[in-house]
Amino acid sequence: MKNDGPMDHLDDWEESLADRYPAGDSLPVPGSSGAGDAFRDYSQNVRPGIREFYRLNHRHQTVDFVEAKKRQYLPLRTKRMGVWEAMEFLNTLVDESDPDADFSQIEHLLQTAEAIRHDGHPRWFILTGLVHDLGKILCLFGEPQWAVVGDTFPVGCAFSDKVVFPEFFAENPDKQTPEYQTACGIYSEGCGLDEVQLSWGHDEYMYHVAKDYLPAEALAMIRYHSCYAIHREGGYTHLLNERDRQLLKWVRAFNAYDLYSKGDERPDVRTLRPYYEELVAEYFPPVLDW
């Protein structure tokens, strides 16, 4: 399946993240230079398709848009299927005519999960690596790229310059709403991320699919793994509470596997499937609401 949009493939966004945050980089300290400089350099040298992707993303991700998508999808009535079925469904996003799209979505998910498993992490952590990107099936429900992937960020308050390409927020209609353009906006200082609306995409969607079945640490990994402005750039700290600060440590631990676990060696899906089917069954029912 060919996905229409400014990027040739959804994986282009993840490849751009690895360019922005090279493996081995230390996490930035809020208020320091270093990683932030690399971030700005990335913005200058990025491919045109990624720039156009973020222009659309920052233009259209408004409070009204996020609320509309939650009303549309969070009753979880679009489809019913099991986790492995969802992985096979996601596989149809691969454009088989593209010589660069070698790996199936299942293989990429297994690469992440296997890297986590190799390092001896808990079983729920391994499972999180397997399922964290399944929300990308939103593309198969007809959503455009900019409403599925991309860095996530709070809406309903002033946009931070820690978000990639902050200049594109000038086109966002919420910039004309004074209530949304103070530091806290519609929130209160220290309210916690559970009270904050993030831009819509696969993270938020998958969090709601999985929220009754996985521990809080896993759910934070799923919900915030694309929120680089917070967990890598130190933005929006005035909205965080102590629980957030503890959970974001797990998000950062997960991030290394999410960005850097993809390699040239294909996982053997047939051999690995029984292990992962057993792992899925340990936490999830046979059929989930999507």
What is the model's pLDDT at position 94?
A: 56
Has residue 34 got a pLDDT over 60? no
Q: What pLDDT digit, counting tens, does each position of 144-183 carry? A: 999 999 999 999 999 999 999 999 999 999 999 999 999 9
> What pLDDT, on a 0 to 100 scale, did the predictor assign at position 144?
95
Distance CA 93, CA 14 (A): 15
- Res 46: pLDDT: 76
pLDDT at 115 over 50: yes
DSSP string for residues in 182-210: SSSTTS-TT--GGGSPBPPSHHHHHHHHH
Closest CA to 221 of 131, 109, 97, 110: 131
For residue 229 the two structure tokens come to 């402005």
**pLDDT beyond 50 at 126:** yes
- Collapsing DSSP to helix, strand or coil, 81 comes out as strand
Q: How many Cβ atoms from other residues are within 10 Å of residue 195's Cβ?
A: 12
Mean pLDDT is lowest, of 6-20, 85-99, 114-128, 276-290, for 85-99
pLDDT tens by residue, 210-263: 999 999 999 999 999 999 999 999 999 999 999 999 999 999 999 999 887 776
How many whole angstroms separate alpha carbon 83 and alpha carbon 77?
16
Q: Select from 104, 108, 96 the least CA-distant residue to 133.
A: 108
Q: From CA 257, how far away is CA 113, in angstroms rounded?
A: 8
For 34-43, 53-62, 176-185, which range has the lowest pLDDT when averaged over its residues?
Answer: 34-43
pLDDT tens track for 8-32:
778 788 788 877 887 755 444 333 3
Residue 55 has pLDDT above 80, yes or no: yes
Strand partners, 80: 289
Strands (E) across 36-107 are located at 80-81
pTM of the model: 0.89
Mean per-residue pLDDT, 66-80: 98
